[in-house]
Amino acid sequence: MKIATIVTITAIGCATNAFAQNPDAKYASYPSYAGEDLELTVDSKGTHWRLWSPEAEAARVILYPTGLNTAATDTIDMSRSEKGTWVANVPEQLYGSFYTFSIKDKGKWLAETPGVWAKAVGTNGTRAAIIDFETTNPEGWEKDKGPALAHINDAVIYEMHHRDFSEHPSSGIVNKGKFLALTEPYTKNPEGEATGINHLKDLGVTHVHILPSYDYNSVDEANLQANQYNWGYDPYNYNAPEGSYSTNPADPATRVSEMKQMVKNLHDNGIGVIMDVVYNHTANNDDSNFSLTAPGYYYRHRPDGSYSDASGCGNETASERQQMRDFIINSVKYWAKEYHIDGFRFDLMAIHDIETMNQVAAALKEINPDIFIYGEGWTAGDSPLPVEQRALKENVAKMPDIAVFSDDIRDAIKGHYTDAADRGFATGKPGLEETVKIGIVAATPHPQVDYSKGNNSKFPYAAAPTQIINYVSCHDDLMLTDKLRKSMPDATDAERQRAARLAQTIVLTSQGTPFIFAGEEIFRDKKGVHNSYKSPDSINAIDWNLRHQNADQYNYYKELIKLRKSHPAFRMTTAEQIQKHLKFDKVTQPGLISYSLLDNANGDPWKEIKVIFNGSDESRQVKVRKGNWIVIADDGQINAEGLGTSKGGNVTVAPRSALILALEK
Ligand code: CA
What are the tens digits of pLDDT across the range 243-287?
999 999 999 999 999 999 999 999 999 999 999 999 999 999 999
Q: According to the model, what pLDDT value does residue 25 have?
A: 85
Which stretches of 123-183 are DSSP H helices? 162-166
Distance 84 CA to ligand 1 centre (A): 29
Question: pLDDT tens digits, residue range 63-91?
Answer: 999 999 999 999 999 999 999 999 999 99
CB 558, CB 633: distance < 8 Å: no
Q: According to the model, what pLDDT value does residue 22 have?
A: 59
* C-alpha to C-alpha distance for 425 and 402, rounded to whole angstroms: 28
What's the whole-number mean pLDDT along residues 440-457?
97
Distance 179 CA to ligand 1 centre (A): 14
Question: pLDDT tens digits, residue range 181-217?
Answer: 999 999 999 999 999 999 999 999 999 999 999 999 9
Distance 217 CA to ligand 1 centre (A): 5
* C-alpha to C-alpha distance for 567 and 281, rounded to whole angstroms: 40
Which residue from 204, 201, 197, 191 is spatially nearest to 165, judged by alpha carbons?
A: 197
* Alpha carbon distances (Å) from 656 to 474, 503, 507: 22, 9, 15
Q: According to the model, what pLDDT value does residue 20 have?
A: 45
pTM (2 decimals)?
Answer: 0.96
Instruction: Pick 231 or 19 by higher pLDDT.
Output: 231
**Tally of residues, the chain:** 665
Contacts of 447 (CB under 8 A, 6+ apart): 579
What's the whole-number mean pLDDT along residues 135-157?
97
Q: According to the model, what pLDDT value does residue 154 have?
A: 98
What's the whole-number mean pLDDT along residues 204-231?
97
* C-alpha to C-alpha distance for 166 and 174, rounded to whole angstroms: 9
Q: According to the model, what pLDDT value does residue 21 have?
A: 55
What region, left, alpha or beta, does residue 305 occupy, with left being phi > 0 and alpha being psi -120 to 50 degrees?
left
Distance 640 CA to ligand 1 centre (A): 44
Distance 241 CA to ligand 1 centre (A): 8
DSSP secondary structure of 258-327: HHHHHHHHHHHTT-EEEEEE-TT--S-STTSHHHHHSTTTTB-B-TTSSBP-TTSSS--B-TTSHHHHHH
Instruction: Say how many C-beta atoms besides its own lie within 10 A of residue 598's C-beta.
Output: 17
Distance 125 CA to ligand 1 centre (A): 6
End-to-end CA distance of the chain: 46
Distance 337 CA to ligand 1 centre (A): 22
Dihedral of alpha carbons 646, 649, 653, 657, sign:
positive
What's the whole-number mean pLDDT along residues 478-483?
98
Distance 239 CA to ligand 1 centre (A): 12
Asked if pLDDT for residue 336 goes beyond 50, the answer is yes
Question: pLDDT tens digits, residue range 568-609?
Answer: 999 999 999 999 999 999 999 999 999 999 999 999 999 999
Instruction: Say how many C-beta atoms besides its own lie within 10 A of residue 479's C-beta.
Output: 23
Instruction: Say how many C-beta atoms besides its own lie within 10 A of residue 591's C-beta.
Output: 24
Query: pLDDT exceeding 70 applies to what percent of the chain?
Result: 97
DSSP category for residue 587: -
Helix then strand count (H, E) for the chain reads 16, 28
* Alpha carbon distances (Å) from 651 to 523, 583, 589: 30, 18, 15
Q: According to the model, what pLDDT value does residue 12 have?
A: 31
Helix (H) or strand (E) holding 482: helix 480-487
Question: pLDDT tens digits, residue range 363-383?
Answer: 999 999 999 999 999 999 999
* C-alpha to C-alpha distance for 408 and 80, rounded to whole angstroms: 52
Question: pLDDT tens digits, residue range 8-56?
Answer: 333 333 334 434 455 788 999 999 999 989 999 999 999 999 999 999 9
List active site positions.
Answer: 347, 376
**What mean pLDDT is reported for the chain?**
95
Using pLDDT thresholds of 50, 70 and 90, give the confidence band for residue 179: very high
Using pLDDT thresholds of 50, 70 and 90, give the confidence band for residue 1: low
Q: According to the model, what pLDDT value does residue 3 have?
A: 38
Q: According to the model, what pLDDT value does residue 16 have?
A: 40
Using pLDDT thresholds of 50, 70 and 90, give the confidence band for residue 413: very high
